[in-house]
Structure 1
Amino acid sequence: MAKNHTLFPFILITSLFFLWGFAHNLDPILIPHLQKSFTLTTVQATLVDSAVFIAYFLMALPAGFIMKKYGYKTGIIAGLLVFALGSFLFIPAANTQQYIFFLIALFIIACGLTILETAANPYASSLGDPASSTQRLNLAQSFNGLAATLAPVIGARVILTKGYTAAQLSTMTAEGRQLALAAEAATVKMPYFILGSILVLIAVIFAFTRLPAIQTNEDHVASKHIFHAFKHRHLAWSVVAQFFYVGAQVCVFSLFILYATKAGGITEVKAADYLGLCGLAFLIGRFIGTYLMQHFSSARLLAVYAVMSTLLCVIAIMGTGMITIYAVMGICFFMSIMFPTIFALGIKELRGDTEFGSSLIIMSIVGGAILPLAFGYISDLRGSIQHGYVVPLVCFLVVAYFGYKGHRVKVKTEKLMVSAIL
């Protein structure tokens, strides 16, 4: 998959997938933590996701320009340092006890993640034989799944178990409640300080590591503007599919603890453990999917996985008790290959449009900011968080169509574009 001279760079790049996966999968811990601390509704709590994924929309194009002008290595280092800055800002955010400051810190973290993902996804895909690009990206993304397994379990025990229950807070005086919430807010300081320190260290390692140039053909002339990339119809469809997929993934993971405590009737810490199992299912699904791609079309596998996820959403909506949690775990298994597969199929044969195409797909991650709000709105309106799963259900139908037909490479030629205008 990777030759000897690309093995260490590939390992370094893969570590980035783990790091941003760990950061993303601390968000489901932060949501119930902040919801209790600031007495938030479900919709207000989903602003955590909005702060994160709006950054992807705003920063994707600047990230693409960074790659084109300064190269992937500079982009990766810049992304790591911005990521670290946002992590360190959790300390003053906890000190101020203001929800808005947490959202600002998360926004800055996400800006760093946007730069990293814009660089790392196409770099990992291109670092080796083009024929195995989808498998290689799925392998790297598998460590994102490993992070999804570990982050909730670790985060719950560092953050959630040291807080106060709603019953305990209700018996306190106003001054006592303020002190209690201050102590609870402080639990986020250490994990994010450690994360920021690790990021700085890895940025230093990247600075002293020689990364091989991405292989390109001589006819891969860089495009002059982002709109040129839209001549690739499969890219346009991948942007749509990624928008809906990321929205579905955020609904499933970020709102899992709120969902499991209400639909399954279990405690927050127990729900966090099941969220860790969801991450494990995600990881196993990624490895199995990567293996199956050696024998089956990645696009066809994507369509089948999306249909299975759609059916499981029906159970998540209509089921009762623990069966609902097991259904969501199944969704996590089947959605495991979706992001890297959509990405790899979307940038296929883009040539000089690869950097801008990558930026467009990363921009579509803004679905993670918008669709969870719809999930929360439906849940609050219907009085049941289970009804919110109609949102992921629709999302997976869109992904299924992309895997069935939308992924097919079609390019609008300049001649056809002129004819259409005339």
Structure 2
Amino acid sequence: MAQQHGRPLAVLTSLFFMWGLITSLNDILIPHLKALFSLSYVEAMLVQFCFFMAYFVVSLPAGWLLQRLGYQRGLVVGLGTIGVGCLLFYPAAGAHAYPLFLGALFVLAAGVTLLQVAANPYVTLLGEPETASSRLNLTQAFNSLGATVGPMVGAVAILGAADHAVGAQADPSSVQGPYLVLAGLLFLLAVVVAWVRLPDPRRLVEAQQAELRGSAASADAGEQGSLWAHRHLVLGAVAIFAYVGAEVSIGSLLVNLMGEPAIAGLSAAEAGKWLSLYWGAAMVGRFIGSALMRKVSAARVLAAAGLVNAALIALAIAVSGPVAMWSLLAVGLFNSIMFPTIFALALEGLGALTSRGSGLLCMAIVGGAIVPLAQALLADHWGLLPSFAVPLVCYLYIAHYGGWGHQPAGPAVTEPAEPLRAPRAAAQGA
């Protein structure tokens, strides 16, 4: 089984890496564009608002598109869309227009959304259901590797320009080169994905059905019922909203926070390099979490991680200074297991409703648009460090979900998970 699914897992892992890198570059864009266009925190946070709003707008159409095109072609379209979004940074920088940057980010994020809707539930299917959380954590460790590389590259290629812009006008062209290189890599990866043979998701579902219930299992048994009747799914969507919002809020404002004299007094480029620790800790934590959850309940690990992060943020707000910087960087370690664990817990037992449930969870990623904007509003009026109370509340809710909210209370569904319905076209990659 492991050897049979080795190639598709390797392909998916490369996609996780790329969208991790691209997403974390937003944390570098925010301080750069804030300096370039003299923006408030709220205005600068429109970068994340436009990026993550795409998840809300595109998630359901992405599910429909995957059904029409098939899984493999959908991945190719997603990669191509991200590449086009990267190319749009070139004219945006040339025109020196902030709205064009935001438009490019929306297009780029639309492609990432298509990949997310497909890849997360597909990984849960490539193996035993009991190890789905562990498998997602393992593949998303490479997402964190990409997110670690992103700030390091961006700090050198992009934020250096912001640091040299003191008393002068920053040069928007510093974003053109990095995003052109990214576009080329994405188009190349799209060609590779188009040539690799991937298994049909329907056949994987049928294999699980045969294992659990025999070859006579009904393919329609899991179609009945409403998503909203599954309490653990609905509360899981709120947990995804809270998690993505908290993670993005902290990552987006850490560079500015580390630049404050009362905290660390770092330059933007130097702070951008330290930001890699935030994402690097998440990468390490996912490898640890993947092993830990083979022995400890995933829900218990999630609850403990939520409580620890809430305590770290409370410590940062109370103490300030370098302690605040290190406490907030340490949050990344405990962020590590949250998204894939919540995702897997929320989809548990949904059967053939899994594809729709996955779409709902991906829509909840819009938390990355709303929560950072709320924190930015508080930062503009109360101060940057006190505004971190917003992600603190998010982590308390996540701890609640791990402790109690994940427990299913909706109708029992015995049908194995079906991540994507992609008739006919999906067979192209089989």
TM score, norm. by length of structure 1: 0.91
The one-letter amino acid paired with 1:394 is: V
Q: Does 1:341 align with 2:341?
A: yes
In 2, Cα distance between equivalents of 1:201 and 1:296: 40
Deviates more, 1:263-272 or 1:38-47: 263-272
Q: 1:350 to 1:264 in 2, by over 3 A?
A: same
Show the counterpart of 1:350: 350
Q: Does 1:192 align with 2:192?
A: no
Show the counterpart of 1:208: 195
Show the counterpart of 2:426: none
The one-letter amino acid paired with 2:269 is: V
User: Alignment partner for residue 242 of structure 1, among 240, 263, 270?
Assistant: 240
Show the counterpart of 1:233: 231
The one-letter amino acid paired with 2:134 is: Q
In 1, Cα distance between equivalents of 2:48 and 2:316: 21
Q: Do the aligned partners of 2:155 and 2:270 also contact (CA within 8 Å) in 1?
A: no
How many angstroms does 1:413 deviate by? 7.1
Show the counterpart of 1:281: 281
Show the counterpart of 2:6: 7
Show the counterpart of 2:85: 86
Q: Do the aligned partners of 1:83 and 1:111 also contact (CA within 8 Å) in 2?
A: yes
Q: Does 1:268 align with 2:268?
A: yes
Give unpaired runs (5+ residues) of structure 2: 210-216, 414-430
In 2, Cα distance between equivalents of 1:222 and 1:28: 44
In 1, Cα distance between equivalents of 2:240 and 2:389: 18
How many angstroms does 1:146 deviate by? 0.7
How many angstroms does 1:270 deviate by? 1.7
Show the counterpart of 1:419: none
Show the counterpart of 1:150: 149
Q: Do the aligned partners of 1:246 and 1:368 also contact (CA within 8 Å) in 2?
A: yes
The one-letter amino acid paired with 1:234 is: H
In 2, Cα distance between equivalents of 1:186 and 1:379: 29
In 1, Cα distance between equivalents of 2:231 and 2:286: 27
In 2, Cα distance between equivalents of 1:167 and 1:23: 27
Show the counterpart of 2:15: 16
The one-letter amino acid paired with 2:339 is: F
1:301-320 to 2 correspondences below 5 Å = 301-320=301-320
1:292-307 to 2 correspondences below 5 Å = 292-307=292-307
Show the counterpart of 2:428: none
TM score, norm. by length of structure 2: 0.89
Show the counterpart of 2:55: 56
Count of equivalent residues: 399
Q: 1:144 to 1:410 in 2, by over 3 A?
A: same
In 2, Cα distance between equivalents of 1:124 and 1:159: 34
Show the counterpart of 1:173: none
In 2, Cα distance between equivalents of 1:279 and 1:294: 23
Show the counterpart of 2:418: none
Calculate the aligned-residue CA RMSD, in Å.
1.7
In 2, Cα distance between equivalents of 1:164 and 1:3: 48
Q: Do the aligned partners of 1:318 and 1:386 also contact (CA within 8 Å) in 2?
A: no
In 2, Cα distance between equivalents of 1:52 and 1:106: 5
The one-letter amino acid paired with 1:44 is: E
Cα deviation 1:27-71 (Å, max 9, x = unaligned):
111001100110000110000000001100000001112233433
Cα deviation 1:195-245 (Å, max 9, x = unaligned):
1111111111111111112322244538779x8222221111110100011
Q: 1:413 to 1:18 in 2, by over 3 A?
A: closer
Q: 1:413 to 1:149 in 2, by over 3 A?
A: closer
The one-letter amino acid paired with 2:388 is: Y
Give unpaired runs (5+ residues) of structure 1: 170-176, 415-422
Cα deviation 1:335-354 (Å, max 9, x = unaligned):
11101111111111211111
Cα deviation 1:233-274 (Å, max 9, x = unaligned):
111111010001110000111111012112322211221121
The one-letter amino acid paired with 2:181 is: I
Deviates more, 1:311-320 or 1:18-27: 311-320
In 1, Cα distance between equivalents of 2:69 and 2:145: 31
How many angstroms does 1:72 deviate by? 1.9
In 2, Cα distance between equivalents of 1:36 and 1:192: 19
Show the counterpart of 1:411: 410
